Amino acid sequence: MLLMGTKQDIRSFSLDKLRSTFSEMGEKAFRANQVYEWLWQKSSVSFDEMSNLSKDLREKLNINFTINAVKINTTQFSNDKTIKNTFKLFDNNLIEGVLIPATERMTACVSSQVGCSLTCKFCATGYMDRKRNLNADEIYDQVVLIGKQTQENYSLPLTNIVYMGMGEPLLNYANVLKSIERITAEDGLNMASKRITVSTAGIAKMIKKLGDDDVKFNLALSLHAANDTKRNEIMPINEANSLAALADALKYFYAKTKSPVTYEYIVFDNFNDTLEDAKELAKFCKHIPCKVNIIEYNPISFAAFTNADGDKIDAFANYLKSCGVNTNIRRSRGKDIDAACGQLAVKDIAV
């Protein structure tokens, strides 16, 4: 029997490592395959559920390994049918994730970090400390748990995943990509890569790395200003990742992947809502094939920003469309339970 002292999370093992470990335990390699299937295809979080394993092997697994499963701590239901979860991690940290139901799609919005280090001025998560990165299996678990809610509440499968929850995905690059590999793999959840979108505040060198890694998922850039002075003011990350640097990285990414990029743009009242702002954005959109999602601002207690009125937003969008930019206005979901874009932040929730 292999006794390791501190139990290791078995989901941190690759299939090859699991096979070699099973060999050390005196078990046949195909048993490792069976366990791997239980973990990633069947999303099992208990060795006792693994019914095609012998009782002795299950006991051996319980002695030597753990499964650091994510659990739902609290759930809130919005008037618009959005569902927000606070998830409890194995170390008692809390994160949030959201199910966004729509007529033609069911979308899971998942977190990639506990808190965030980027301090974007309009985002509630940006006012939290970053405690740690999430492991790949913790991201995977959010998808599984939200997928179960989709079936339970709407009798429909999960169709889309957006990495737009708490944290900056590209500052947790390896775990984010590993989670997507497990979500999209045939021996995982087998979801299509093109149904996954990773959103970044804009880290130029990591956008280039996405190109080098020839990723198949969609990329969204949280832009919110196409003017360095304004973007520096609301997104300090821009000081080290200027619009020129981002444009260069995005061109590199597109040349490698041939994937258009989505720009997310909140129209703040009396900040970035003028015709000149729209002109600057239209000019930025010329770098690569793209589309723009204009997002309604969702107020938070930490910041004094307000949403531009509807007429201004419509005029802004219409100007972009007149320039040939594919533009959509996205209405907020789950605002009444602080589940909308920019509102995720764990607040005084009893563990």
Answer yes or no: are the C-beta atoms of 302 and 127 closer than 8 Å: yes
How would DSSP label each residue in 98-147? Answer: EEEE-SS-EEEE--SEES-SS--TT-SGGGSPP-EEPPHHHHHHHHHHHH
* Residues 87 and 49 grouped into a single domain: no
CA of 338: how far to CAs of 77, 107, 112, 168, in Å? 11, 17, 18, 19
342 falls within a domain: no
Q: Residue 314: pLDDT above 90?
A: yes
* Residues 81 and 62 grouped into a single domain: no
Q: According to the model, what pLDDT value does residue 121 have?
A: 84
136 falls within a domain: yes
Out of 96, 168, 264, 296, the active site residue is: 96
Q: Is 96 a catalytic residue?
A: yes
What's the length of the chain? 351
Count of CB atoms situated within 10 Å of the CB of 76: 16
In this prediction, residues 54-69 reach a mean pLDDT of 95
12 falls within a domain: yes
In this prediction, residues 9-32 reach a mean pLDDT of 94
* Residues 61 and 88 grouped into a single domain: no
Q: 337 or 10: which carries more pLDDT confidence?
A: 10
129 falls within a domain: yes
298 φ, ψ (degrees, to nearest 5): -115, 105
296 φ, ψ (degrees, to nearest 5): -65, 135
Provide the CATH number for the domain around residue 59. Answer: 1.10.150.530
* Residues 184 and 297 grouped into a single domain: yes
In this prediction, residues 136-162 reach a mean pLDDT of 97
- Picking from 23, 45, 66, the residue at the C-terminal end of a domain is 66
Instruction: Please list the residues that pair with 266 across neighbouring strands.
Output: 295
Instruction: Output the six-digit token pair for 225.
Output: 């200003």
* Residues 194 and 308 grouped into a single domain: yes
Q: Residue 241: pLDDT above 90?
A: yes
Q: According to the model, what pLDDT value does residue 335 have?
A: 58
Residues 6+ apart with CB under 8 A from 311: none
The CA distance from 114 to 130, in Å, is 6
The CA distance from 49 to 63, in Å, is 15
Confidence band (pLDDT; 50, 70, 90) for 351?
very low
* Residues 215 and 149 grouped into a single domain: yes
Count of CB atoms situated within 10 Å of the CB of 28: 11
Q: Residue 322: pLDDT above 60?
A: yes
Question: What is the percent of the chain with per-residue pLDDT over 70, rounded to a whole number?
Answer: 93
Q: Is 341 a catalytic residue?
A: yes
Model pTM above 0.95:
no
* Residues 138 and 245 grouped into a single domain: yes
* Residues 186 and 88 grouped into a single domain: yes
251 falls within a domain: yes
Torsion of CA 229, 234, 238, 244, to 10 degrees: -50
- Picking from 39, 66, 93, the residue at the C-terminal end of a domain is 66
> 55 is in which domain, residue-wise?
8-66
Number of domains in the chain: 2
In this prediction, residues 110-128 reach a mean pLDDT of 86
Q: According to the model, what pLDDT value does residue 330 have?
A: 83
Q: According to the model, what pLDDT value does residue 3 have?
A: 52
* Residues 156 and 300 grouped into a single domain: yes
β-pair type (8-9, 65-66): parallel
The CA distance from 126 to 168, in Å, is 10
What sign does the CA torsion over 249, 250, 254, 255 have? negative
What sign does the CA torsion over 43, 48, 50, 51 have? negative
- Picking from 42, 66, 90, the residue at the C-terminal end of a domain is 66
Mean of all residue pLDDT scores within the chain: 91
* Residues 50 and 85 grouped into a single domain: no
Provide the CATH number for the domain around residue 316. Answer: 3.20.20.70
In this prediction, residues 183-205 reach a mean pLDDT of 97
Confidence band (pLDDT; 50, 70, 90) for 334?
low
225 falls within a domain: yes
In this prediction, residues 239-248 reach a mean pLDDT of 98
349 falls within a domain: no
Q: Residue 164: pLDDT above 60?
A: yes
* Residues 14 and 141 grouped into a single domain: no
Answer yes or no: are the C-beta atoms of 262 and 269 closer than 8 Å: no
1 falls within a domain: no
Q: According to the model, what pLDDT value does residue 166 have?
A: 92
* Residues 246 and 278 grouped into a single domain: yes
The CA distance from 335 to 316, in Å, is 23
